[in-house]
Structure 1
Amino acid sequence: MSDQTHVRTGHDLAPGEEEQHSVGERVLGYVVGLGLALLLTATSFFIAGTDLVWQPSIPVALIVLAIAQMGVHLVFFLHITTGPDNTNNVLALAFGLLVVFLVVGGTVWIMGHLNANMPPMDQIMPMRK
C-alpha cells in the first residue's frame, strides 16, 4: 500500500464539472461576448461597404474578423478555455473540424476530378440533325 494521502484541493474538478459562478458573473460574460460579437459583425459590414479601406485588403480583413468572431464564440458562449478540465472539449472540437475539413475538402477534390475526367457533352449526347 501507498503512504500517499489524496487531498482534494479547491481547484480539482472532474471532467465536465464547472466551478460555481454567480448568475451576475455568467450574465456579464454573455453580455461581454454579445457586445464583442456585435462589434466584430458591425466592423465587417463597415469594411465591406466602405471605400476608406484599401480594396485588395478587404478579403484579408474579413477573414481576420471572421476568425476573431469564432474565437469570441468559442470563449464566451461555448466556454472553450485552455484549462485542464477542457481537454475533452478541445479534442472534440478539433475532431469536428477535422471531419468538416475532410468532408468539404474531399467533396471539392472529387468534384474537381469529375469535371476533369468527364468526356465532352457532344460525345455523351450527339447532336441530332
Structure 2
Amino acid sequence: MRIHLTSVFVDDQAKALHFYTEILGFAKKHDVPLGGKARWLTVVSTEEPDGTELLLEPAGHPAAATYRDALVEDGIPLAQFAVDDVQAEYERLSGLGVRFTQEPLERGPVTTAVFDDTCGNLIQIASQ
C-alpha cells in the first residue's frame, strides 16, 4: 500500500495553481474540467513527477471551511512538505513574499517552519 494522492482545500484553484507552481515550484500534473469553475487539478514535485499528487481541491463544502478555519486558528498545518534545508527554503520563500507563521525551529534532529499558502491553509516544511 502507498499514498498516491492527497489534497488540500483551496479557496481559488487558479490562485492555488499559481502559488503551488510559481512560488513553491511544483509542476501541474492533471487539469481536468469538472463543470462550472471546478477542476480536477493536481500538482507534483518536480523531483518526483510520478510521485504522490497533491489535489488542489475546491473548498466549497461547508465542512471543509469549518475544518480549515479551525486548523488555521489553532496554528496547525494541514500538510507537511519535505525540503533539504528549511532555513534556505525559508529565505527563498520569504524573498518571494510568502508569509511565515513559524520561522525555522530546530526540534532535535528535525527543523520545521510553517507558512500561509494564501489559499486558506498553513503548510509546514521540514528537514532532518
Q: Provide TM-score, normalisation by structure 1.
A: 0.20
Q: Greater share of strand residues, 1 or 2?
A: 2
Q: Greater share of helix residues, 1 or 2?
A: 1
Larger radius of gyration: 1
